[in-house]
Amino acid sequence: MYICRMRTTITLETMRFHASHGVTEEERLIGGTFLADISYTIDTDAVETDCIEDTIDYAEIYDLIKKEMMKSSKLIEHVAGRIMKAVKNKFPQISEITVKISKLNPPVNGETGRVTVTIK
């Protein structure tokens, strides 16, 4: 039986974390709410085989993201970069990846619901 590999994109959305990221010491001390999204593309047989071994288990991706989110950083750009590196290092078969980090209620001189950084 011929099994066809198919290009597949998997997305984890709106992962919510309380983390200590921010430019000011107070932000890092108190922490805040952050959202993380990741989308990654792989060539996989799982669409036909129905086997977890033929794909990348998104629970493992979540664990990598959680680990990086718990490390304090001044900039969410830095957090997003660390996440991307960790995922690419563990899963080099990923051909495309997008990481998005949002900081809810950022400290600005006005009202905004969130600030978001996206890296590809």
Q: Which residues are catalytic?
A: 103
Which residues, in sequence order, are CB contacts of 27 under 8 Å at separation 6+? 20, 21, 107
Let me know if 2 is exposed, middle or buried by CB neighbors in 10 A (0-12, 13-18, 19+). Answer: exposed
d(CA 18, CA 14): 13
